[in-house]
Each structure stands twice: as structure tokens, then as C-alpha cells.
Chain A
Amino acid sequence: MDTPVITTTALTKRYGSHPALTDATLDLPAGRIVGLVGPNGAGKSTLLALAAGLIRPTSGTIEVLGNRPAADAAQLARVGFVAQDTPVYTQLTVADHLTLGEKLNPRWDRRTAADRIRQIGLDPAKKAGRLSGGQKAQLALTLAAAKRPDLLIFDEPVAALDPLARRAFLQSLMEFVADLDVAVVLSSHLIADVERVCDHLVILAESRVQVAGDIDDLTADHYRVVGPRGTLDTLPAGVEPIAADHTPRQSTLIVHNTTGRPLDLPGAETIGLEDMVLTYLHRAEGLGTPILQETRS
């Protein structure tokens, strides 16, 4: 698993004149759980639909596991996709869905599927239309996982679930990842979920990629710097300001240290993941520094 799971170059998708994803260049590494965060409409679903091959880019390129998405049956077999709101066929039973998975996927793992359904207590004879949201999500997860893909993509898998179902779903997801040796890309607008599950992060806002990297690196490289007004006007090379807030006496900066060396600035301290994400989202919307004290983790 050395090839990156998803590689994009200047990937752009427009619907008419409305940009859904603009100029995204990404390298999502193998062997990680990648989280895609951003507000609704940031382009998360578009990026994932492009990766699943459900839509094609307006311009730019995307490769998933080294191939064009949905290029052929073999490529489709390598990617499992759980769509937003976890659609299932309401008129088909749970057992029908498992048969569907078995008939349409050469690598289908019947045992895993049956075990999972038993474990989560789904009645195989029940129509999928009568399942609860959490059960539907679990069924969709089972379908995608028993397909035995190399990459599992989840688009806002827990957005519509209540807190209990959300916790159960994420628990199942992590169990699968541990059992199946599979790369995962999931999107969420809930930073807490991403922080719990993921180890690599892509922040999307206003159809653009704001920043991407391993969560540990990102949190280690983002600092809040406070200093007297005027002392922070010039920053060392490789240190990029993300947000700035000035009072008459002092300046507060959120900076991204891309030098690869420890940041050598007085009054600099690292910020938490949630603060960092919020800073990027505020910048994307053209707002100033968010009030970080209240959200610090």
C-alpha cells in the first residue's frame, strides 16, 4: 500500500458557474484514516463523489489507488463508498441487501457480513425502509465493508444520527479498520468526530483546500503568537500567518510553521485542533480571528 490512496491535481468541479470544488491538489497517504472537515457546502461531498467515480471533474485529474475512479469493475471493487444519508433500497429486506452485495461484488465476504448483521441485531427479514437511521447506516457500512475494498469512503456518515447511534457507528467503523487493513477517507462537519477517529486531516472551505496533513503535525505546527503591536509585522520565512487580530497595544497571530523546525518566536504556543480548524474556516469566509479562548481544547 505504497501508492497514495487519493491523488488530485488542480481538481475542479463546477455546476454551471457555481464552483463546488476549486483547484484541489492533494496527496492522501496510504494506511491512514483521513478526515475531511469543513462546513456544509464546502466541497466535501463533491470531492468524495469524484473519488468514488460518481461524477467526473470539470478539469484537473484525480487518481484513486493509482487508477481513474470507477474506471472498470476491478477499480470499483477496490473502493467501498458509503454515501451521505446512507441510502438503501426501502423495498428490499436486510437479507436482500446482503444478496445484492454478494451478487455484485467478487470479493464479497459473506461471513463478515453475516456476523456484522447478527452483532448489530438487524432482523434479516425486515425491509430496509423500516430501519432506524442508525440501523440504515450500519447496514450501509456492512455492505461497503463486506465488499472487502482497499479504500473505504464515508460521506458524512454520522451527520443524521443521534449521539448514541453516532458513537456506535464510529465504533463499528474503527473495528472494521482494525480488522480489515483498509484505508479510510471520511468527511464530517463535526470536528470532534474527526479528532476521535482520524489521523490525517484535510480542511475544506469555500470549495478550496485550506490545509492538509497528519493531525499530529498540524497541531504541532500551528501556533498562537502574542506580542506588542508592531513586533510581529515580519515573520521568519516559512511561517505563514493564518489570522491576525490587532488591538492598539498588541497583536495576536495564528501562524502555520512550515519550516519543519521548531518555531522560534517569543510568546508562541501551539493551539488545539478545533481552534486550528476554526481559524481556517474563518479565513476562508473572509472573517477575522475567531474567539479562540472559548473553544480551546
Chain B
Amino acid sequence: MAWKEMSELTTLAPNVMSVAGTMIRLDGVTKTYSPGGLEIRALSDVQLEIRRGDYVSIAGPSGCGKSTLLSILGLLDTPSAGRYEFEGIDVRELSVADRALVRNLRIGFIFQSFNLIGGMSVFDNVALPLSYRRVPARVLRERVQLALERVGMTHRMNHFPSQLSGGQQQRVAVGRAIVGDPAVLLADEPTGNLDSNNGEMVMDLLGELHRGGVTICMVTHDPRYARDAERTIYLFDGRVVEDEPNTPGFEAGGPDTPRDHTPHWTREFV
């Protein structure tokens, strides 16, 4: 049934094939919130294009709009103004159910706090996205096992999140993100709650997925990991202030290596 729904989605976006190279396009995207009547502009006139296979890191100081941008990219939230095309589809045309379907079929999420469901086993947590697709039980089992093998957590599949270390939990979260073969992986500070060893391991996993063709957008504060990406987008006060490829030469740099191409006005925040 999921594939039938997918075809319906394609019907919604007849130009999906015509922009085969572009995964994500934001044109003048603005996002405002009005808690208690006070308007807060989280994103302002964001222009952005991410192509298939890109590995993009999003950086900026706290409150600059990184997470808001990630929410919009992941169809978790909607822009207040501007146009957002995901695989050629104007997301404004999508209903709540269509957006849920796109998230389920095309997007994988990795979160800073892992967001595993405590009452579910490792296997069930990873199986969760597939449970919304009506995948036959046998196929589901195979795909979950495959995903767990890729993150090295097969031996813990019957454990519960509370029985795992932080690094293991994040590996499970990565397994859950990739089990549905997403076209794009959105990672929100994936190493934020991990020690350096586990952080390296997760980043290695992301790198491996990228090499497998997955588009990755990653929010990170950590310049060491930001440099793993091919390109870094800098946000400040809700605006994209810089969007430039990472210099390969710095990839070998140590944790304390300063990024001398970091804009002067953001240096104090990074």
C-alpha cells in the first residue's frame, strides 16, 4: 500500500523527475512564532539548495534558527512565508497525511537526545517507521535486522533503551533512521550527548551512509564534525550568512584546529 501512496505523492509533484539533481530548495523561507503575542522571527528569507548526495552541515550560534531550519527541512514544521520544494514538490500542497508519508518514506531523523521510545525494545524502535508502512512482517524483520547489522547493534535487539549506553542508543537511533532507506538524513546534533569515542563512531556511520548515496543535513556545534561535511551553511539571526564548501585540507585537523575561514563575526559563537 505504501508504494501506491508513493505513486499518489508523485502525482502531486509531476516535476519530481525534472529536478532530479535538486533534493531541497528553499526560496525566501521565513518562519515566525508568536508565543504570547510576541512575534519571534526564527528564520528570515532563507535561500538554500541541497542536491542529491550532498553532505551539509548547518552551524551557527544558539538561537540562530538551526533547529527551526531542520524542522522545516524535515517537514516537521511549515514555513510562515516563502517556498519550500522537497524533491520538486511544493510542500505547501501537501496535507498533514502526505507530509507524514513523505517523512516516513523519504526522510530519516537522528536526534541529539536519541528519542528512542523507552517502552519499546531495540528491535521495535528500529521497526517503528516500517510499522507505519504496512510492510509484511517477514520483510520488516529482514530490514530491521539489516539496519541493526549496519549499526552493529544486532546483539542488543531485545534490549530496552534504558539498558544501553548513550553511544549504543544513538546507534540504534541511526538504525531507525536508515531502516526505511530514506533519501535524506536529517541529524540534529547527533553527537551532542556522546563522548568523543561514540561521537566518532556515529560520524563514521554517517560518512558511510553518505558514501552510499544518502543526502545528509546535519546541525552541529562541533567544528570537528562540521568539517566531515562537504559544505557548511552558517546561520545568524535566522539568516544564511555564509554557504561554502569545506576545505579538504582541514579535514585532517585536530579537535582544536581553528577554522580560519570562519566568518569573523561568528567566531565567538562557534
The finding on whether chains A and B are genuine partners in a shared complex, rather than unrelated, reads no
Query: A residues touching B (Cβ–Cβ < 8 Å)?
Result: none
Query: B residues touching A (Cβ–Cβ < 8 Å)?
Result: none
